[in-house]
Amino acid sequence: MNTPNDTGFTGSIPEIYERYLVPMIFEPYARDLASRAASVQPSRVLEIAAGTGVVTRALAEALPEHVEIVATDLNQAMLDCAATLGTHRPVTWQQADAMQLPFDDASFDLIVCQFGAMFFPDKARAFAEARRVLRSGGVLLFNVWDRIEENAFAVTVSDALGKLYAADPPSFLQRVPHGYWDTNIIARDLADGGFDAPPPRIETIAKRSGAGSAQAAAIAFCQGTPMRAEIEARSGATLDEATAVCATALRKRFGASAIDGRIQAHVVTAQR
């Protein structure tokens, strides 16, 4: 179950997220989703959980100028960061809750969501809302991370923090980003949300993740995600000390300079 802090992308987190986490793990999948979105040939696109806009920028590049893009996020601070970074063509930025989308029925022919479904408190309800605002024949396209063991940097950071805070390990990475990996559960939630015929297509896609240094990767996870609040709430090691411990673990496993590791996600296509 998610906690209120799990969606707490506030303070300096949006900027750190964009600087360190986006190029490390999000850009490769953003390009993949944008390519898939272009193949749908939509006329109006809704993006849910746009974050700092990595997919929005990719969509703006991949889709013809006449295609309207509405990019939304629950967190206004993330959306403000995305809007400041901007796109090369007009995009509508709007705060919105995936549980209760502020749009009319049948108003989009494509919905895109990158690594946001894991944060939905009621996934079937969110999928039902997506289906409501899709036109007949419209497509829901999203991705979620596979289990943490398939994602090299994340599991290394998680293990290091587990040793550092052995009595009460931070659980955010396993519980939220890497907590919605079971494809049977994903298919069940989609069916409960009305996406049962035709059956959704779920593909498992592995890519490579790179960072300029182990320190950069450690900052990305420890300071650029809501796990920061978990670390700061624990006694003992400070945030900077925890970041240093994770950097040491990453350096030991991947090397002292630029590092590279496996990432893996499920890409889901469902049609209304």
pLDDT of residue 2: 45
236 CB neighbour count, 10 Å cutoff: 12
Q: Which CATH class is domain 4-271?
A: alpha beta
Contact yes or no for 272/134 (Cβ under 8 A)? yes
pLDDT of residue 11: 82
Extents of the domains making up the chain: 4-271
Find all residues with CB under 8 Å of 128, minimum gap 6, and list them: 192, 193, 194
Confidence of residue 9 (pLDDT cuts 50, 70, 90): confident
The structure's pTM equals 0.94
pLDDT in tens, 75-125: 999 999 999 999 999 999 999 999 999 999 999 999 999 999 999 999 999
Please check the confidence at residue 12 and state whether its pLDDT lies above 90. no
Contact yes or no for 170/243 (Cβ under 8 A)? no
pLDDT in tens, 228-251: 999 999 988 999 999 999 999 999
pLDDT of residue 7: 61
Please check the confidence at residue 22 and state whether its pLDDT lies above 70. yes
Least confident of 5-14, 140-149, 223-232: 5-14
pLDDT in tens, 191-214: 999 999 899 999 999 999 999 999
In the chain, what are the helix, strand and coil shares in percent, each to the nearest 5?
45, 20, 30
pLDDT of residue 1: 43
Query: Starting at the edge strand that comes first in sequence, how are the strands of the sheet with 259-271 ordered?
Result: 92-95, 68-73, 44-48, 108-114, 134-145, 259-271, 201-211
pLDDT in tens, 132-159: 999 999 999 999 999 999 999 999 999 9
